[in-house]
Structures are given as structure tokens and as C-alpha cells.
Structure 1
Amino acid sequence: MTRQPAFPAPGILPCQSIEALIAAGDISADSPFLPDQVQPASLDLRLGARVWRVRASFLPGTGRTVKERLAAVAMHQLDLTGGVVLEKGCVYIAELQERMRLPAGISARANPKSSTGRVDVFVRLLTDHGAAFDDVASGYDGPLYVEIAPQTFSILVRAGTRLNQMRLKAGDPPRLSVRSVGVDLTGALAGFRARRHAGVVDLDHEDGHDPHDFWEPLEPRHGELLLDPGEFYILASKEAVEIPVLEAAEMTPIDPAVGEFRVHYAGFFDPGFGTAEAGGLGSKGVLEVRSHETPFLLEDGQTVARLVYEPLTERPSRLYGEGGSHYQRQGLKLSKHFRLW
């Protein structure tokens, strides 16, 4: 009989529930879990030993496994144990160290980590028999893979590098609220535009890169910023973002009819982000922005994304930023791989 854990109501699982799933063997891994791998309402996922360069992105579909589909699209295999450079403009599929054996009633959703999105690396989770990226069906029992597509910078990764994270859910949590997120173009520094021909970013080397080699600072003119097609920008939200301790949030793109650009590859905000209780009062949301086919004139305060809030099943035993965080109390800020501007 399939085990079905009991929760008082549908919601996002907090860290102690994730740790209970690990202890029960419902989430396992090729190597021991690390103490900081479980976040207040999410689990960091780690690259395994192998990655395949593929000629095209794919979904396995309901009748096939990822390995079966790889056989038709893989160009060559690379060993991640010693570190590998993944080239921008190419698509890769990597195995992850974690494996799921989810109980009935527990599903999951993945998203890039903040530091991954801020260097313009597009990542999506894949599961066997999966018909959608980033979603793990209730009761899924099998391995996990990640599609990696560096867009602006080539990246150096290794077995154990964390590119994405997973949020687990009991049942179908309701939307508690949806809040608009505007862009701040009032300061002397409006944001940063990525340099097209920069070097390699080592994703395990914090504070180890000179930002001037990778980014161009931008000054707003009359509260406006012209987005060029195909360019990648780091901007900040107009409003401070606060995630109550009994909620979690995901930042989602706006309707394309509102503007020809994509915002925020990395969408999870854990409970305690931006709260006074966790020492983060006044934290801004950092926005990863890419314009599409046409130039687009962005105005100060314009809505560029939405925050969707969902309940937790219970209060997490720790909050975002407790014990230190690169992004608590942040304003306009590059990823942790770069020294301060």
C-alpha cells in the first residue's frame, strides 16, 4: 500500500518535512546530504557525475525515460568529476545526485537557484515519463535530470554544483494572493547589462570574479531604460519584497501582451525573505530580464512580474537568511560569484 503522509491542509512543505522525507528514504542521493542543502521551504539539487551535450532540448513524454530519449539526441558525454566548461549557446542534460520516491499526495516543482538565474543560465528539471519541465508528479519514483543552457556566459561546473532547487507540496495549495512587482529606475545606477564576450564563470567560486569583466553598468534617463533585443539585464524591484513566515512565493512572468520581455528565471522566495524577524526588512527582488524580438522601453514602476503566495503546511524550523545569506537585505545586486561593484 502506498504511504500517504497526513498534513492538516494542502501547502508547501517546510524544511523539517523535507528532512523527514530524506530520513525516510523518500528523497535519496548518491552522496550524503549537506547541512545547508535543505532551505526553509526548498531543497537544493546537485549535479551528478555525467552530462551530455545534446543537439536539441526535449521532453521524454509519458512513454519514455530520459535515458531512452538521450540515446537519440546526445552528441557526446562529459565527466563532471573534475570540472567541465559548458559553452554558451549549447544545450546539455546532466544527471542529478538526488532521486525521488515521493509518497502519494506529495508532488514537487523545481526552479533555478537565484545565483543561476543571475548569470543567465537557463535550467529545467526533467523526470522519466515527464510531459512538462520542472514538475514532479505525485508518487514519482525515479531519477532526476536537469537541462542546462547557458545563454550569455560559458560556465564551469562540477559534480556537486547546485544549479536548481525543488519545492515539495502536499496536495494542491491555494493561491493566497498575487502581487505585482514593478521595476526601479530611479537611482543613479539602474542596473547591469551583461557583456557578450566575457570569460567563463566558475559557479562554485564565490566572490571570485571581477564584475567589470562581465557587466556594464546602466544609468537611467528620465526614469526609462531601453531594452535591446537579445541582451540580458539585472534590475531591481521597485517595492521591497516580504515573504511571511507561514508562506512561500514564486515570481512568475507577466502576460506577454504587457511587454516583449521575460523576467526572473529564478522564481522561488522562501519564508522569512525580507522580514524583520529574519533580519531582512527592506529586501528588494532582483530581476533577471531579457528582451525578445523588438526593443522595449521600460519605465520606472512598470509592472514586470507577479509574486504568487502559497501557504506552508506549518511554520518552518528556520527562516531564510538565518545564519547568513548573500541575498537577504539586498538591493540591486549581482550574483554571489562577483565581487562588489
Structure 2
Amino acid sequence: MTSFQIPAQAGIIPFQGIETLIATGAITSQTAFDSDQVQPASLDLRLSDVAWRVRASFLPGKRKVEDRIQDVAMHAIDLSGGYVLEKGCVYIARLQEHLSLPKGLNARANPKSSTGRVDVFVRLLTDKGQSFDDVDEGYEGPLYLEIAPQTFSILVRPGTRLNQLRLKAGDPPRLETRSVGVDLQHGDNGIVGFRGRRHAGVINLDNIDGHDPRDFWEPVTLRDGDLLLDPGEFYILASSDDVEIPVDQAAEMTPIDPSVGEFRVHYAGFFDPGFGTDEAHGAGSKGVLEVRTHDTPFLLEHGQTVARLVYEPLTMRPTRLYGEGGSHYQKQGLKLSKHFKEWK
């Protein structure tokens, strides 16, 4: 088996590079990889059948994740038959994928778009990891996922994909940083956003287009272009400008900082190459914003900056672009996650 050749130029590993990492054994899995698991510049990660309900979040520090779990575990969970993760609780699940990264490669994880849009907070853990979501250069070991549903309880099973991994050669430079504003004026039928219902039912995360959105969401309509964000509520909003990711770049939407406002925007931060481009038939795509306030009500106005997009280079152009072969979110406007039928 040949080894993966580290690119000379720092950047994000594209589709064909991730496939090579799988072929050379740098990324392995308990079960066969799904045919659509590799994205243009990221790899979807899948739940195994093993999880724990824990009483507190943690970082492993100098210990292995499963050794640290013993300090906070309430009970073990078998996901094999499907299991409801309840809102307000914290879980740790073992993932199916295992890494043996060559020296020179590191990685970063982020929630998938569909995960953030149902307000499920997830973070990657590695053995002896010093921070969430970051995988050290040359890491060899298992992967785990902290899962904390915030607004809705969710039904998961082995193979459910909640987060994705971006592989990087070296430390890619920031090519550009763009501000992202919020659209509070141009929604269809006067709807500029959606607010999660507090006492909704369970979302089956493997049931695509299978939920009535009115059972889980209430529409937000405005007349004066301002939105008062209530503490503890979860909102789906859209960006005021189109988002476009060049085919040789990828982007991450960074969390809000206190100098811009006391709220959090966009759990799901990865934008793959080709999103919103003419070449991938996605021109006119908006960024969807998942917004949750902190402890203080906050008045949001149309066009206000709520997040920032950071662009980084790929090591080479990917052989697959975002949206090729179909996508729920290419050419999106204000859009709920793929689990819901269209709002009518």
C-alpha cells in the first residue's frame, strides 16, 4: 500500500485527496464507507452503535476519551436499534471512523449544515485532545462526538451523520475574510425567518423530507426590518447577500464575537468549493444563519453584520464540486433543514 503524499503547498485536502487517504489506510472505518460520504473538501463522520449519557462536557487533556468518560458517565447507550437523544442532555458517541494521519496533516471538524439547523450542538473529541474539533498533526486514534440537542430531541442510529471533518496540509493561509449580514426584509410571503417551537416532537434525523415544519417551527414576519431576539430562543435566518465559494477554495463561517453582538450565529461552519457558483449551478445561494441569543434580548436590524466568512485555499482543484449530483442547499434562500417538507 502506497502512502499519501503530503502536498508541498499548505491548504485543504480536496475530494480526490480524501479518497486517497481512505485508500491508503490513513482513514479507516468500522463499516464500509458510504458512496456519498466524501464531500468536495470534507468527510462526513458517522455514529457507531456505542454512546454514553454524561453529566458534564469535558476535554480529555492527557487521557483517552473513554477513560475520561468513566468520570462523568451516567449510563451506556446502545444505538443499534435507534435511540432518542433528549434535548437538554449531553451525550458522547464513538464514531465509526478512525484516523492514522501522516505527519504534516491535521484536521478540523464542524457540524453538518443539517445538524446546526435543528439546533444540535456537536463537538469532536480525540484522545488526549486539548481542544474541541481540532485534530493534531499526525493523530492516530479513534474519534468521538459530544452531542447536546438544544431545542428538539432527535432520533439517531448507527450511520447517522452529524458532523464532518476537513483535512489540512500545514496551516493554510487566510485568503479573505468577508462580513455576513442578515436579511430581514426579503422573505417569501413576508416570512424572514423561523423560530423553533419549545415543545415539539422528536426529529428523526434519517427521515429526509419527512416532517411537517409547522409542528416544529413558527414563522417570523416583520414590518419594520428589526427583529428582537428573545433569550433562549432559536432562529433560522438568511444572509442579506449571496454567498459564493470559488472552486479552488473553501470557507468557514466563524462564530460571532462580543464586539458585534451577544448572540451566537451558525453552528455549521463549512462551505465547500463550488457553493453558490455558476459553474456548479448554484448562483444566487444564500447563507443560512442559525441564531441563538445569550442572556440578554438583542435587537437585530436588516443588513447588520452577524458573522464572518474566512476563505482558505485547497491544495488543488477538487474533482467534485458542491451540489454536483444534487444538494439540498445549493441555490438555497431561507431554508429549513432537509428533514422538513417545504413550508407552504
Partner of 2:305: 303
Instruction: Tell me the equivalent position of 2:325.
Output: 323
Identity percentage of aligned residues: 74
Q: Secondary structure at the match of 1:320?
A: coil
Sort the Cα spacing of 1:110 and 1:130 in 2 relative to 1 into closer, same or farther, 3 A: same
Aligned to 1:174: 173
Q: Which residue of 2 aligns with 1:199?
A: 201
Q: Deviations over 1:275-299 (max 9, x none)?
A: 0000000000000000111110000
Provide the C-alpha distance between the structure 1 equivalents of 2:105 and 2:5, rounded to a whole number of angstroms. Answer: 8
- Distance in 2 (alpha carbons) for counterparts of 1:307 and 1:316: 20
Residue identity matched to 1:203: L
Match of 2:315 in 1: 313
> Which residue in 1 is equivalent to 2:47?
47
Measured after TM superposition, the shift of residue 5 of structure 1 is 2.5
Pairs within 5 Å for 1:148-187? 148-187=147-186
Q: Is the CA contact (8 Å cut-off) linking 1:10 and 1:169 kept in structure 2?
A: yes
The 3-state SS of whatever aligns with 2:88 is coil
**In the comparison of the two structures, how many residue pairs are matched?**
338
> Are residues 1:112 and 2:111 paired?
yes
Alpha-carbon shift at residue 237 of structure 1 (Å): 0.2
Asked whether the 8 Å contact 2:255–2:308 carries over to 1, the reply is yes
Residues 37-83 of structure 1, C-alpha deviations (whole Å, 9 max, x = no match): 0000000000001110000000000x200010011110001111110
TM-score normalized by the length of structure 1: 0.98
Q: Which of 230, 235, 238 matches 2:240?
A: 238
Return the alpha-carbon distance in structure 2 between the equivalents of residues 245 and 4 of structure 1: 23
Q: Secondary structure at the match of 1:333?
A: coil
In structure 1, the residue matched to 2:91 is 92
The 5 Å alignment of 1:206-285 reads 206-285=208-287
CA contact (8 A) 2:235 2:291 kept: yes
| 2:4 and 2:20 in contact (8 A); partners too | no
Q: Secondary structure at the match of 2:21?
A: helix
For residue 240 of structure 1, report the CA deviation from its aligned partner: 0.2
1:195–1:214: 8 Å Cα contact kept in structure 2? yes
Q: Does the Cα contact within 8 Å between 1:274 and 1:282 map onto a contact in 2? A: yes
Structure 2 CA distance for partners of 1:4 and 1:43, relative to 1, 3 Å: closer
Per-residue deviation at 1:257?
2.1
1:25 aligns to what?
Answer: 25
SS at match of 2:259: helix
Paired residue secondary structure (1:5): coil
After TM superposition, which residue ranges in structure 1, 4 or more long, deviate above 6 angstroms? none
Equivalent pair of 1:89/1:150 in contact (CA under 8 Å): yes
> What is the Cα deviation at residue 4 of structure 1?
7.1
Contact 2:93 2:144 in 1 (8 A): yes
- Checking the alignment, whether the CA contact within 8 Å between 1:116 and 1:163 is kept in structure 2 is yes
Give the residue type in structure 1 aligned to 2:268: A
> Any idea what the Cα deviations from partners look like across 1:23-47, whole Å, max 9, x if unmatched?
0000000000011000000000000
Which residue does 2:288 correspond to in 1?
286
Aligned counterparts of 1:14 and 1:103: Cα–Cα separation in 2: 16
Tell me the residue number matched to 2:60: 60
Q: Which amino acid is the alignment partner of residue 330 of structure 2?
A: Q
> Does the Cα contact within 8 Å between 2:239 and 2:288 map onto a contact in 1?
yes
RMSD: 0.8
Aligned counterpart, 2:16: 16
> Partner of 2:75 in structure 1?
76
Query: Does the CA contact (< 8 Å) of 2:48 and 2:94 recur in 1?
Result: yes
The one-letter amino acid of 1:326's match is H
How far apart, in 2, do the equivalents of 1:150 and 1:16 lie?
33
> Contact 1:4–1:104 at 8 Å: present in 2 too?
no
| Alpha-carbon distance, 1:220 to partner | 1.6
- Note the C-alpha offset of 1:221: 2.8
* Runs of 5+ consecutive residues of structure 1 not aligned to the other structure: none
CA distance in structure 1 between the aligned counterparts of 2:4 and 2:93, rounded to whole angstroms: 30
Amino acid at match of 1:142: G
3-state DSSP class of the match of 2:191? coil
Deviation at 1:6, TM superposition (A): 3.0
Counterpart of 2:130, as a letter, is: A
Question: Gaps spanning 5+ residues in structure 2: where?
Answer: none
1:37 is paired with a residue of what secondary structure? coil
The answer to whether the Cα contact below 8 Å between 2:256 and 2:263 also exists between their aligned partners in 1 is no
Contact 1:264 1:288 survives alignment (8 Å): yes
Structure 1 residue 201 displacement after superposition: 0.3
- Cα 1:277–1:4, aligned 2, differ >3 Å: closer, same or farther? closer
Give the deviation of 1:163 after TM superposition.
0.2
Distance in 2 (CA, whole Å) between partners of 1:66 and 1:109 is: 17
Tell me how far 1:115 sits from its aligned partner: 0.2
Q: In 2, distance between residues paired with 1:253 and 1:83?
A: 32
Within a 5 Å distance, the mapping from 1:137-156 to structure 2 comes to: 137-156=136-155
Q: Which residue in 2 is equivalent to 1:338?
A: 340
